[in-house]
Structure 1
Amino acid sequence: MSDATTADPGTHALKSTSTTPGQTEVSLTLWDGNGVRTGIWEVTPGTFASTRDGYNEICQILSGTGTITEPNGNSFDIGPGSLFVTPAGWEGTWTIHTTLRKMWVVQNIADTVD
């Protein structure tokens, strides 16, 4: 077992949906089973678009700060201790102020349909 706040998630790569040159991210899956996955993710400062296509995600911010803005203009600040859900179909823009790390749990929608 590792500490999610200090575990080495691996090597950062350029964030494909970033509008900020040089912004990077890394994700480390810690468990994968029965349509549910969990892990840690880290991203450097910058802005990027995000869409939840076909999955729900629970996010717990471990470190860093940012602001999430939804298409309707609503926004909320996130930082250590923030807990929120981005349901399937959700869209938004993340602006990362300081390198951010989150613990995530993803549920694939296709695995919940009977």
Structure 2
Amino acid sequence: MTYLDDAYTVAMPPAVAKPTSLTGQRESTLELWRAGGAETGVWECEPGTFTAVRDGFHEICQILSGSATLTTVDGQVTELGPGSTVVLPDGWQGTWVVHEKLRKIYVTIEH
């Protein structure tokens, strides 16, 4: 069993440069569990813009704090904030614009 007392306030590892950032932002990931093609953890990212491609896996995100706008390559816009849940299926492509430092719980599942 893996247990995390408080995902909202858990100390995160040092932030590192986000490889797909268009604006120089940094991110931090606290992996909690990984097995059989699935992974879950806490992710945090500074404000800015980055591209994302879900290639070979699905991702489910539960936003804990902050806000962001997701825009798909075909122009669909989704606003995210605390309490939002979003599923990014295998093949999803788009841009994240993080307005306030964003923290989420994520689950990825290989496809």
Please name the residue that 2:97 is paired with.
95
Map 1:80-91 to 2 at 5 A: 80-91=82-93
* Match status 1:52 vs 2:54: yes
Q: Distance in 1 between matches of 2:95 and 2:89?
A: 15
Select 2:10's aligned residue among 7, 11, 31.
7
Number of residue pairs matched by the alignment: 108
Q: Distance in 1 between matches of 2:39 and 2:27?
A: 18
Please name the residue that 1:40 is paired with.
42
Please name the residue that 1:112 is paired with.
none
Counterpart AA for 1:79: G
Please name the residue that 1:104 is paired with.
106
Q: Distance in 2 between matches of 1:35 and 1:49?
A: 23
SS at match of 1:96: strand
Offset at residue 34 of structure 1 (A) = 2.1
Please name the residue that 2:19 is paired with.
16
SS at match of 2:105: strand
Gaps of 5+ in 1: 110-114
Gaps of 5+ in 2: none
SS at match of 2:83: coil
Q: Which runs of 4 or more aligned residues in structure 1 lie more than 2 Å from their structure 2 counterparts after TM superposition?
A: none
Offset at residue 57 of structure 1 (A) = 0.5
Offset at residue 41 of structure 1 (A) = 0.3
Superposition TM-score, scaled by structure 2 size: 0.94
State the identity %. Answer: 47
